[in-house]
């Protein structure tokens, strides 16, 4: 398990396939602020709620200069189905090798009902225009999280 990121840290670079298999890199967004959120699995209730919340607020976030990228360990085909089923407009990236998840501290030990296991830690990292971590939020809740980010960022 990797270290959690702190404000001021350089955001780890990544290049991952999107739902259509096209490569997307963090560096593609240089000069813009990016909200990178990590979620456990497409087409599950909590992750669907979170992705729909980001989609519903995408115009507001984009207007304030933020791009939104969602990353999960799912394959691109599952992300495409997720996007179509839920009419999502956020960029969804596949990280089946968990390299970006690990680099961002979003993969590690979790506890649920007394059981300990390795999994995706629902996390949101806000990256500034210079590629540095502005905010690093871990163990966030799927519901109400987007509204909290918008409030915290003063949008």
Which are the catalytic amino acids? Answer: 47
* Beta partners for residue 119, in sequence order: 108
Q: Where are the beta strands (DSSP E) in 56-105?
A: 66-72, 91-94
Secondary structure letter of residue 42 according to DSSP = T
Q: Specify whether the backbone of 71 is left (phi greater than 0), alpha (psi in -120 to 50) or beta.
A: beta
- What's the CA gap between 5 and 56, in Å, rounded? 27
């Amino acid at each position: 398990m990797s270290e959690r990121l702190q404000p001021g840290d350089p955001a780890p670079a990544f290049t991952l396939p999107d739902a259509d298999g096209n490569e997307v890199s963090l560096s593609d967004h240089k000069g813009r602020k990016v909200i990178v959120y990590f979620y456990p699995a497409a087409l599950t209730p909590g992750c669907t709620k979170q992705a729909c919340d980001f989609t519903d607020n995408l115009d507001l976030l984009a207007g304030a200069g933020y791009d939104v990228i969602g990353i999960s360990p799912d394959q691109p085909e599952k992300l495409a189905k997720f996007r179509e089923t839920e009419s999502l407009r956020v960029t969804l990236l596949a990280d089946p090798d968990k390299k970006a998840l690990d680099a961002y501290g979003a993969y590690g030990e979790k506890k649920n009902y007394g059981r300990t296991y390795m999994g995706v830690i629902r996390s949101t990292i806000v990256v500034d225009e210079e590629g540095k971590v502005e905010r690093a939020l871990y163990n966030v809740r799927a519901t109400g999280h987007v509204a909290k980010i918008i409030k915290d960022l003063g949008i």
